[in-house]
Amino acid sequence: MEFKDLISHCKEYGFIYPSSEIYDGLSAVYDYGPYGSELKNNIKSYWWKSMVQMHENIVGIDAAIFMHPKTWKASGHVDAFNDPLVDNKDSKKRYRADQLIEGYAEKIEEKINKDVAKAKEKFGTSFDEVMYRATNPRVLERQAEIDTVLKRMNEALKVGDMEGLKQVIEDCEIPCPESGSRNWTEVRQFNLMFNTQLGNIAGEEGKLYLRPETAQGIFVNFLNVQKSTRQKIPFGIAQIGKAFRNEIVARQFIFRMREFEQMEMQFFIRPGEEMKWYEYWKETRLKWHLALGTPSSKLRFHDHDNLAHYANAAVDIQYEFPFGFRELEGIHSRTNFDLSQHQELSGKKLQYFDPELNENYVPYVVETSIGCDRMFLAMISESLQEEKVPDADGNESTRTVMKLHPCLAPNKVAVLPLLKNKEELTKAASDVFDTLKKKFLCQYDEKDAIGRRYRRQDAIGTPYCVTIDFETLENNTVTLRDRDTLQQIRVSIDEISKIVGEKVDYSNII
* 327 makes contact with ligand GAP (CB under 6 A): yes
Out of 371, 406, 417, 461, the residue judged to bind ligand GAP by CB under 6 A? 371
* Residue with Cβ nearer ligand GAP (215 or 450): 215
Q: Is 74 in the site for ligand GAP (CB under 6 A)?
A: no
Q: Please list the helix, strand and coil fractions of the chain in percent, rounded to the nearest 5, in that order.
A: 40, 25, 30
By CB under 6 A, residue 30 contacts ligand GAP: no
Q: Per DSSP, what are the bridge partners of residue 399?
A: 387
Binders of ligand GAP in range 207-246 (CB under 6 A): 213, 215, 245
> Peptide bond before 234: cis, by omega within 30 degrees of 0?
yes
Give me the least distance between CB of 294 and ligand GAP, in Å please. 15
Residues 6+ apart with CB under 8 A from 241: 62, 63, 65, 211, 214, 217, 261, 262
Question: Can you tell me the distance from the alpha carbon of 504 to that of 341, in angstroms, rounded to the nearest whole number?
Answer: 44
Say how many residues touch ligand GAP, by CB under 6 A. Answer: 19
Q: Please, which residue, 213 or 320, has the CB nearer to ligand GAP?
A: 213
253-282 exposure pattern, b = at least 16 Cβ within 10 A, e = fewer: bbbbbbbbbbbbbbbbbbeeebeebbebbb
Which listed residue (256, 342, 456, 483) binds ligand GAP by CB under 6 A? 256
Cβ 63 vs Cβ 218: under 8 Å: yes
245 versus 456: smaller Cβ distance to ligand GAP:
245
Does residue 342 touch ligand GAP according to CB under 6 A? no
Q: At closest approach, how far in Å is the CB of 337 from ligand GAP?
A: 12
Establish if 98 lies at the interface with ligand GAP (CB under 6 A): no
329 belongs to the binding site for ligand GAP (CB under 6 A): yes
Q: Is 47 exposed, middle or buried, given 0-12, 13-18 or 19+ CB atoms closer than 10 A?
A: buried
Which amino acid does the sequence have at 159? Answer: V
Residue 213 three-state SS = coil
Of 262-301, binders to ligand GAP (CB under 6 A) are 262, 264
Does 369 interact with ligand GAP (rule: CB under 6 A)?
A: yes
Q: Does 481 bind ligand GAP (CB under 6 A)?
A: no
Binds ligand GAP (CB under 6 A): choice among 330, 363, 406, 463: 330
482 touches ligand GAP (CB under 6 A): no
**CB-CB neighbours of 89 under 10 Å:** 13
- Residue count (the chain): 510
Residues of this chain that bind ligand GAP (CB under 6 A): 213, 215, 245, 247, 256-257, 260, 262, 264, 327-330, 367, 369-371, 373-374
